[in-house]
Chain A
Amino acid sequence: MKIIVCIKQVPSTNEVKMDPVTNTIIRENVSAIINPFDTYAIEEAVRIKEKHGAEVYGLSMGIPAAKEMLKEAISLRIDKAMLLTDRKFAGADTLATSYALSRGVEKIGKFDIIICGKQATDGDTAQVGPSLAKLLNIPYATNISKILEIKSDSIRCMKITDEGYEEIEIVLPALITVVKEINMPRLPSIKSMKNASKAEIEVVTFKDIDADESRLGLMGSPTQVKRTFVPVHDVNSVTLEGSAEDKAQSLAETLLSIKF
């Protein structure tokens, strides 16, 4: 069995501080980490490997520095990793990202399951999983919280819905996106860290994948950022004074005057 895990590098924090004078963004040496949701995807793939035997491949599209992140993924017990990196991939929205990843998957070859995180914390779009599945023409299911059974040609899982849960069965090969509830990722062991330090990450550029340039990067991205701005909140604010008793009293009155 072969499992591919899609892993994205994201900034460790979304804290964006504004310089009040110039009204521009101040970025203080934010470090890059594995997208937290993808750590659950990695752990789940590794658990399947340990139980059923599988080869686990990490796949990422990102800047050259994402190689280090993929080494970290190897320390989390995946077997191999491929990084798609090229100036031509830059500026990709979710469609162009999914397209590039689909070419990467094609290069890796035959697989049984692709596991993605539910969403990436930098954009929170949750679009790459379903898009990638569609580009590969395979079935998919999102928000998987438990894998119940793995058969040779299908898997049975639990999916979180807005109303509760659904038990579903998916025909393989397929793609799933996983939520936090699915497992508790383990830390690296000394052995897995050793493996990581020795690991070679396969670096793949535009010329190594059979891809249509017009569908990559900025050129292949139908969405464009027109402008960005900092949300402003102007509120009428009253601070209630007095003892705790007084505050509770005036708040109660206020609330009751609105509601009842």
Chain B
Amino acid sequence: MASINIIKEKCVGCKICIGSCPFGAIEVLEKKANIGQKCTLCGSCSESCKFGAINFMMERVEREDFSEYKGIWVFAEQRYGKLKTVSIELTSKAKELAEVLQTKVTVVVFGSEVKHLSKELIAYGADDVIIMDAEWLNDFNDHVYGELMIDLIKEYKPEIVLIGATSNGRSIAPFISSTLRTGLTADCTELEIDKAERLLMQTRPAFGGNLMATIICPNSRPQMATVRPKVFKPSNPDYSKKGNCILLTVPSPIEGFVKKIRDIDNDTGLNLTDADIIVSVGRGIGNQKNIQLAQELADALGGALGASRPVVDSGWLPYSQQVGQTGKTVAPKIYIACGISGAIQHLAGLADIEIIVAINNDPDAPIFKMANYCVVGDIKEILPLLTEKIKNKKIKK
């Protein structure tokens, strides 16, 4: 257990610690700092105090011996026998991490008729692919897949388990981690290894992306994280690479208490998360009719249409097109932000983008700080001109 207290004699009431606390837990009363209920004992304030007035003690817990936990696991998600792209991205990333730890990558797949997926997973970095293949495993089910995964983890003892932060992944991961009583970090955007301690350093946005936090799980295993699609790039697949496909005997069916009655898939137009070019509209578009201007540009470029939250909240575009913290994370080559101010929650949805173009009539809009190409002007004027020029050029060629 850690403890924290203010050494009143040393405190000068300078208030610097107030700003250093990510949780807003410190107040200065009668010229002395006071640590309140919101304190999570993170220790940030102690480092900020120039007077050594904050006594923070982190008791060194005897580290358990985790040497029997080995290897990095990826829980791969598939649908209709096709891997989700995030599973491939995670397999590639796991390989990178495994090289630092000098350990193996194991990918786990559940489903029906999914044996063929092992080749692809091995090409992207898996050393072993564990497959449970049975007709009753066809549909993702939190309870069923979760119990199977828990049993496997208990038996094989991986030191790290990575899961894609899809809606299924975000739903099953806490089921697994809470059963194993281990830590789980949601929606990581960066994963690194502290080699000496064999710790997974999991970085994720906090406070809606205003702050980044690096999270560790030192005292329990496995270390678990979910990662959003598109955050990592898939490696170049190597189909000559060797690996093991381990077909496990499937236990008799587990009773699911949640039954799927039917699927209703959206008609998939160009999927935002897969698009190379995204034209995104914000409140600056003014009204629903004007969205057509952005749609035409997207069509001319062969790209997809995205939106900021106010546009979706106004019902001008469906939620599936929202980019940002509470929408999708996107990673196109080119992102064209039209009439978007660039709020941090919106930027949180922009992953690895080569080129950001911003069109905005306010030269001080924060989006310009992020953009590679800045156009100060009225989108209603610029968009049609731009579309026309793109169309012309393409025809000439």
Chain A residues with CB under 8 Å of chain B are: 11, 14-16, 19, 22, 24-27, 30, 63-64, 87, 90-91, 93-95, 98, 121-131, 133-135, 139-143, 156, 160-171, 174, 181, 215, 218-219, 221-231, 233, 235-240, 244-245, 247-249, 251-256, 258-260
Contact = CB atoms under 8 A, between A and B. Distances in A.
Nearest 8 pairs of A and B residues by beta carbon: A24-B19, A14-B208, A222-B183, A139-B257, A248-B385, A252-B389, A16-B210, A223-B183
B217 A255 contact: no
8 contacts: A14-B208, A125-B187, A141-B258, A142-B142, A161-B263, A163-B268, A231-B211, A259-B276
Nearest to A177: B171
Given A245-B385, A247-B377, A94 B174 contact: yes
B138 interface: no
Contact of A93 (B20, B22, B183): B183
Contacts of A91: 39-41
A129 B217 CA distance: 21
A235 B369 contact: yes
A244 B378 contact: yes
B289 interface: no
B198 interface: no
Contacts of B212: 228-231
Given A25-B22, A135-B178, A224 B217 contact: yes
B175 A229 contact: no
Contacts of A219: 1
Contact of A163 (B20, B79, B344, B355): B79
A25 B19 contact: yes
A126 B277 contact: no
A256 B389 CA distance: 10
Contacts of B18: 27
Given A127-B174, A142-B171, A222 B370 contact: no
Interface of B: 1-2, 16, 18-22, 24, 37-42, 44, 48, 79, 142-143, 146, 166-168, 170-175, 177-179, 181-187, 201, 205-220, 257-266, 268, 276-277, 301, 319, 325-326, 333-334, 344-345, 354-357, 368-378, 381-382, 385-386, 388-390, 393-394, 397
Contact of B211 (A16, A63, A156, A165): A16
B216 A226 contact: yes
Contact of A166 (B1, B186, B260): B260
B167 A142 contact: yes
Given A227-B213, A228-B44, A134 B334 contact: no
B166 A248 contact: no
B211 A254 contact: no
Given A135-B178, A161-B168, A163-B266, 17 more contacts: A24-B16, A25-B22, A30-B24, A95-B183, A124-B205, A124-B326, A127-B170, A127-B177, A162-B168, A164-B266, A226-B216, A231-B209, A236-B372, A237-B369, A244-B385, A252-B390, A258-B355
B382 A247 contact: yes
A238 B373 contact: yes
A222 B216 CA distance: 8
Contacts of A160: 167
B211 A131 contact: no
Nearest to A121: B208
Contacts of B185: 223
Which residue among B146, B258, B389 has the maximum number of chain A CB atoms within 10 Å of its CB? B258
Contact of A259 (B19, B142, B263, B301): B301
Contact of A228 (B172, B213, B325): B213
